[in-house]
Chain A
Amino acid sequence: MKQPRFPAVLFGLTLVFLLGPFVVILLSSFSADSIMRFPPSGFSLEWYQKVFNIRMFRTTFWISLKTGLAATFTALALGVPVAYALVRYSFRGKTALEVFFSSPAIVPGLVIGFSLLRFFIFVTKVPIGMGLYFGHTAILFPYAVRVVSASLRNFDPAVEEAAVSLGSTRLHTFFAVVVPNVRSGLVAAFILAFITSFNNVPISLFLTGPGVATLPIQMLVYMEYYFDPTISALSSIIIVFTILIVQGAERALGITNYL
């Protein structure tokens, strides 16, 4: 049978469109030139070395990591019970609540960032790191709710009732029966939330300040002063690690069902 040509071409173009920029960045990160340009004129690992030598990248990486983990855990701790309530129970105002809980994912990040700065940080005078943590928790929360909801919806409530009829309390049932069975949904929510936090610029832009920046903000700042391939090298490292984590989780748990 003759394969139709058009869909294959379209697929190829889509791949080029999606992956092209990444290939350019990856190739330019091995450049021997001192400014970012494509195609590079020679090969070197100099910029990878430089990434690790710049102290601000190291400190902001740790801030990003800590903020991301703390905000992700908090968002899950708040989001899992909310998701459970929304999936398992019906009550007045449920739809309104669902819309409200997803609003941080709909409202533009710049608006959230500015509002948090103006009406939260300025008013309560919390330390800048705390503000960053609260802001990130707020935007990760809808992802936690949505992804965990999806996996809860796939879990038969009769199984919970079976556990209750056998003597478990609702709470014990949740930890002994529900959690082990929505594990992949929880991991998916965790990874998605963490990556969202780690990559976030618009919120972090408003909630960082002297001495406290996240890695993406530090990269922006760096690019304003230098235009060497260090940023390419750093970007390549982040992209490769992201791909490895998502691939690993997908292999182990099939998380893409819930994203």
Chain B
Amino acid sequence: MAFVELAGITAGYVRDNPVLKGFHLEVGKGELLSLLGPSGCGKTTTLRTIAGFIIAQAGTVMIGGKDVTTVPPNKRNIGLVFQNYALFPHLTVFENVAYGLKRRKVERPEIRRRVADVLEMVSLTGLERRLPAQLSGGQRQRVALARSIVIEPDLLLLDEPLSNLDAKLRDEMRAELSRLQHQLNITMIYVTHDQIEALSLSSKIVVMNGGDIEQIGTPEEIYENPATPFVARFMGFDNRLVGTVTASSDSGVVVRSGESEFNCCRTRGEGLQTGDEVYLFFRPRDAVFSLEATENTLPVTVNYTNYHGSTTLYAASSGDQSIAVVMPGKPTDLSSYTKVHIPADRLIVERRPNHE
């Protein structure tokens, strides 16, 4: 049975216009589940509903088999980590971490022991007497983490905890979060808009859009097999071609786009028929400039290049459609190349919604 269960949740900030409408979600025990999506997709609303800061207008919230829908947030035994750390500015590192234990009337010697343990776990030993203002961003987020896990919460909620850190620190903290998750085996729900974070940390990812779930799956499933155009876009399938199905079989479909024909083995929106209007999605790094390839090719002209260090982005156009191709290395003159090849297993076909 699911450890956390949201059933038919309707919740939001404005009564007449809730962000979530009849929302369902299940999180297994010990799982690290990411809620991934752009801002306004409802991921933070979901998190705040679980934490108890938003009271659902309808539906039930179950944690560990208990109905907590109307339980106030201070009685839910949930750890919370915020994007901006939210440390108590007037308390030292020790006092910040000890706060939850004091509220739980834990004996002083035990508070001292548990705070010391958890500070060691996040490598902050020796900084007990500092104030938050005297810490770096990474250290502050470690204190916030220590403060929320020292109370041994049933559930740890993290709201974009790494987005205020610079790139290098973010990688470090990500590794650390991953280590803590394995060490403590605690159920975590992690809100982020960063696909790399979600992919590298999660055991399961929930991609959200407009208050609804677009897809639930393992990081690999989400990355390799996006279920909807939205997820495809979000997972870096930045190129989109418009086409028509010209043949279909059990193993895949053939799609014509402009002058090109593409064999595609990864279809979606089951039962595509000849004549259906579709989109073809592929990642910039999955297309290659080619002289030899004869099938699955698209005629292109390179318009400009954009140097990224280890890779180079080539902005190209094919008829009235524009695409991006990413190749390793520095920009090279590709004027003799007039087509790109996209392998059949790198293409995603989606039925084109009627209203577009």
On chain A, the residues within 8 Å of B100 by CB distance are 166-167
B99: chain A residues within 8 A (beta carbon): 163, 166
CB-CB contacts of B125-161 with A at 8 A, as 1s and 0s?
0000000000000000000100110010000000000
Asked if A162 contacts B78 (CB within 8 A), the reply is no
- Whether A162 contacts B80 in the complex (CB less than 8 A), given A167-B100, A167-B103, A168-B103, comes out as yes
Q: Does A181 contact B (CB under 8 A)?
A: yes
B89 at the interface (CB under 8 A from A): yes
**Distance (Å) between the CB of B100 and the closest chain A CB?**
4
Count of chain A residues near B, Cβ 8 A: 16
Q: Which of chain B's residues have a CB closer than 8 A to the CB of A177?
A: 88, 90
| Chain B interface bracket (under 10, 10 to 19, 20 to 34, 35 or more) | 20 to 34
Contacting pair B84 A165 (CB below 8 A)? no
How far is it, in angstroms, between the C-alpha of A158 and the C-alpha of B84 when the chains are bound? 8
State whether A159 and B88 are in contact (beta carbons under 8 Å apart), knowing that A166-B151, A167-B151, A168-B103 are contacts in the complex.
Answer: yes
A224 at the A/B interface (Cβ < 8 Å)?
no
Contact A180 B90 (CB under 8 A): yes
Chain A nearest Cβ from B153, distance in angstroms: 9
Are B74 and A169 in contact, with the CB atoms below 8 A?
yes
Whether A156 and B73, one on each chain, are in contact in the complex, defined by CB atoms closer than 8 angstroms, is: no
Q: Tell me, rounded to whole Å, the shortest Cβ–Cβ distance linking A28 to chain B.
A: 47
A156 CA to B99 CA, complexed, in Å: 18
9 A-B pairs whose Cβ atoms sit less than 8 Å apart in the complex? A159-B89, A161-B51, A161-B73, A161-B86, A162-B80, A164-B72, A166-B99, A177-B90, A181-B89
Q: Mark A138-173, 1 if CB is under 8 A from B, else 0.
A: 000000000000000000101101111111110010
The answer to whether the Cβ of B87 comes within 8 Å of any Cβ in the partner chain is: yes
Q: CB-CB < 8 A to A165: which residues of B? A: 51, 73-74, 76, 78-80, 148
Residue of A nearest to B80 (CB): A165
> Other CB < 8 Å A-B pairs besides A162-B86, A165-B80, 9 of them?
A158-B86, A159-B88, A164-B53, A164-B72, A166-B148, A167-B75, A168-B103, A181-B88, A181-B90
Q: Are A167 and B104 in contact (CB under 8 A)?
A: yes
User: Bound state CA distance, A169 and B75, in angstroms?
Assistant: 9
Binding site for A on B (CB under 8 A): 51, 53, 72-76, 78-80, 82, 84, 86-90, 99-100, 103-104, 144, 147-148, 151
Please give me the residue from chain B that is nearest to A157 by CB atom: B86
Residue of A161, A164, A165 with most chain B CB atoms under a 10 A cut-off: A165
Chain B nearest CB from A44 CB (Å) reads 51
Report chain A residues within 8 Å CB of B82. Answer: 158, 161-162
A168-B74, A169-B74 known; A162+B88 contact, CB < 8 A: yes
Question: In the complex, what residue of chain A is closest to B77 when comparing beta carbons?
Answer: A167
CB distance from B139 to the nearest CB of A (A): 17
Bound CA–CA A165/B88 (angstroms): 13
Q: Flag if A163 contacts B84 (CB, 8 Å).
A: no
List the A side residues contacting B90 at CB < 8 Å: 177, 180-181
A156 to B89, CA, bound (A): 10
Give Cα distance in the complex from A80 to B234, angstroms. 46
Q: Give Cα A158 to B73, complex, Å.
A: 13
**Which of B51, B72, B75, B86 is A156 in contact with, Cβ under 8 Å?**
B86
Pairwise interchain contact A163-B88, C-beta atoms closer than 8 A = yes
Residue with the greatest number of chain A CB neighbours at <10 A, chosen from B78, B99, B148:
B99
Bound: A159/B96 CA distance, A: 11
Whole-angstrom distance from the CB of B131 to the nearest CB of chain A?
12
For chain A residues 157-213, which have a beta carbon within 8 Å of chain B? 158-159, 161-169, 172, 177, 180-181
Nearest chain B CB to A87's CB is how many angstroms away? 16
> Which of chain A's residues has its CB closest to B48's CB?
A161
Taken together as a complex, chains A and B put the C-alpha atoms of A158 and B82 apart, in Å, by 7
Contact A161–B74 (Cβ < 8 Å): no
Bound-state CA distance A168–B86 (Å) is 15
Instruction: Looking at the assembled complex, report how far the CB atom of B278 sits from the nearest CB atom of chain A, in whole angstroms.
Output: 45
User: Which chain B residue has the least Cβ–Cβ distance from A158?
Assistant: B86
Q: In whole angstroms, how far apart are the Cα atoms of A150 and B288 in the complex?
A: 58
